[in-house]
Structure 1
């Protein structure tokens, strides 16, 4: 009986870890794996075209709760301390899983070579815009921190294509492109900076803000690598 409970507890733990991994995303694409699966089979992962309820988020939370209950019940006699402090155990599993995934992705970048070895620090990206009253121009500045994980010297250009922002039903759109070739030494971290001037249909208004959902591409003569940000 105790052996069966131990096995069932490990099954719930395995499901929990798999669920956590499906909540993760890659450095080149911020969309979680589970959302990509939903998209592949034609099921929306959000209500209201991305502005409502996150269905996959609720599903993942439900699975975490069920796995927590399953581990607690089956490991009461096998691992009583884990069962007693199940919430802290689950938090620890989540932190360790995400940390291991992040470390593994950086290691993966190390072995890729060329532009695929460039790692983007997505949480530290800044894309800000400012518009002055009476001017139909919008001034945009973007800062992207990246690191070259390879042992190669890399040179590349960068562009942010079809950046758009809807403010009060007035569409703002522009393309940002770096004019100079950027160089990265082996293991070097650098802040990539882009500036551009876009246009807006709303002339008699002013404002400023920041934006975190956009795509950018780095490129050289050999390849193009796209980063999809959806925060």
Structure 2
């Protein structure tokens, strides 16, 4: 196989890795959607365990980087290292550029999950608390939207599993800003096992604005 053909195969494998792991505008990777569409399992144990999409994409990436290195005559090591980093760095840069220039409404919204949390306190059969949700508005216009916590595996059985009350409050993000919005909530619970107080971090959200909806 000549060098040109090996180079074409390498670029195809590396590009396929980026495509499989592409998540914008929602959090579900494109590779997971493709696997489900053709009837392949995404996880080794239903909704947990080994992620077959991740394993497949990493195998394709290493194969692509190895093939790329063998197809180059000069600077092979440096270019191969760059190709190894590219799939992890490029998608976020492309999304940020798109959100800053072209995206409208909630499609210009970035949710900073690792800076978001919910604190709660239980009194009798009522839970009160505040969710601090951090967003970045990449657009030049105000964004108004509602947010609710999506069902997650680690929330099953807890009152936060269905904390839909967040969806009743309209949130506003000013243009070109990063902001933490505090959203108060009150919820009646029947589960006596709910702790007296606590904190949840890194919740997955569903945001809506008119007909637009995204999972973040």
TM-score calculated relative to the size of structure 1? 0.73
Larger radius of gyration: 1
CA 1:68/1:185 → structure 2, altered by over 3 Å: closer, same or farther? closer
1:159-213 CA-to-partner distances (Å, cap 9, x unmatched) read 316656766x744233233666444444344322212133251347445242434
Q: 1-side partners of 2:22 and 2:12: how far apart? A: 16
| 1:59 alignment partner in structure 2 | 56
- Structure 1 residue runs of 5 or longer lacking an equivalent are none
1:174 partnered with 2:159: no
CA 1:34/1:117 → structure 2, altered by over 3 Å: closer, same or farther? closer
| 2:85 alignment partner in structure 1 | 92
- Structure 2 residue runs of 5 or longer lacking an equivalent are none
CA RMSD of aligned residues (A): 3.2
Q: 2-side partners of 1:175 and 1:228: how far apart? A: 14
Q: 1-side partners of 2:152 and 2:57: how far apart? A: 31
1:40-51 → structure 2 map (5 Å cutoff) = 40-51=37-48
TM-score calculated relative to the size of structure 2? 0.77
| 2:20 alignment partner in structure 1 | 22
| 2:148 alignment partner in structure 1 | 160
CA 1:5/1:163 → structure 2, altered by over 3 Å: closer, same or farther? closer
| 1:218 alignment partner in structure 2 | 208
1:128 partnered with 2:128: no
1:11 partnered with 2:9: yes
| 1:142 alignment partner in structure 2 | 131
Q: 1-side partners of 2:200 and 2:194: how far apart? A: 20
CA 1:183/1:20 → structure 2, altered by over 3 Å: closer, same or farther? closer
